[in-house]
Amino acid sequence: MLTTTISDFRKDIKRYLDRVTKNFDTLIINRGKDSGVVIMSLDEYNSLSATHHELSSKQNETRLDSAIEKLRKGKSNQKDLIEP
């Protein structure tokens, strides 16, 4: 996780954005007492959004937990995809 001030961010915006996108870093720009902005890559944001969606209902969360437990116990089945 990177942190910087708004002044330093303005001075070197390209370097900060390149680092965020290439290294999947998260950048926090401090804007004063208890105030700030978070910048992350689009890929990282999409991943967090997908995870949030998957865990947004108790039913989804229970289904995922059950699947993880089956994998841990070796009780999963592998199936081949049907080719078109």
Domain ranges of the chain: 2-40, 44-72
- Taking the C-alpha atoms of residue 27 and residue 21, their distance in angstroms, rounded to an integer, is 10
- Taking the C-alpha atoms of residue 52 and residue 58, their distance in angstroms, rounded to an integer, is 12
Structure tokens belonging to residue 34: 């208890």
Quick one: pLDDT at residue 30?
Answer: 92
Q: Which fold has domain 2-40?
A: YefM-like fold (3.40.1620)
Average pLDDT over residues 62-75: 90
Structure tokens belonging to residue 47: 């991943």
- Taking the C-alpha atoms of residue 84 and residue 82, their distance in angstroms, rounded to an integer, is 6
pLDDT in tens, 16-62: 999 999 998 999 999 888 889 999 999 999 999 998 988 888 998 89
Beta sheet of 27-30, edge-to-edge order: 2-5, 27-30, 36-39
Quick one: pLDDT at residue 12?
Answer: 95
pTM: 0.65
Quick one: pLDDT at residue 41?
Answer: 95
